Amino acid sequence: MPKDKNKKPVKSVYVKEVGKQEKDLGRFLNYTPRNEAEEKDLSLASLIHQAEDRLLDQNIKLSAAKHEVHEMELERQIHLAIMADKEADKDWKYRFSEDFYFGVEERPAEIADEIKYLEKYILSAKSLIKNEKYKNIPVDFWKTFHWDSEGVNIWDDDTKYDPDNLPF
């Protein structure tokens, strides 16, 4: 039986997995800090990665908040039209909350302010990295790299520290 010259050999799942593991190990060895300056740069790169994740989340929230405001504006117009009708029940005025509307209306500006801060945070952190190899660490590196103490709770009362949810 003649062989098809255009047919490429199929790599086994095992070979592909070994290749991925070798790539991950190579990245791990490449980015493992060898001194305090490199450790600082890797820490900065980690903070940048986390901030970029939060920035993406905030951009999604901003889009959702703008949509929510748009819908609430329409609901407000509908409600005002209903209440302008002489036959409207007086108790219907409670079916739309102006206070809630004004709270929602402010939310996009609050999120936009957080986005602006995160963008400056990321630029400032990037400017502090001295070693070139830590300036553009591939995103998938962070899927396999973890700090030794990552996930350990340092708070006595079992409260997790959440910088996005501070009481002040």
Q: Could you give the CA distance from residue 142 to residue 18 in angstroms, rounded to a whole number?
A: 19
**Domain containing 43: what range?**
13-143
Residue 167 within any structural domain of the chain: no
* Residue 153 within a domain: no
Q: Report the pLDDT value the prediction gives residue 5, as an integer from 0 to 100.
A: 66
Total domains in the fold of the chain: 1
66-118: pLDDT as tens digits: 999 999 999 999 999 999 998 889 899 888 888 888 889 999 999 999 999 99
Answer yes or no: is 7 within a domain.
no
| 60 in any annotated domain | yes
In a domain, 25, yes or no: yes
Tell me if 156 is assigned to some domain. no
Residue 145 sits at φ, ψ, to 5 deg, of: -100, 135
**0.75 cut: is pTM over it?**
no
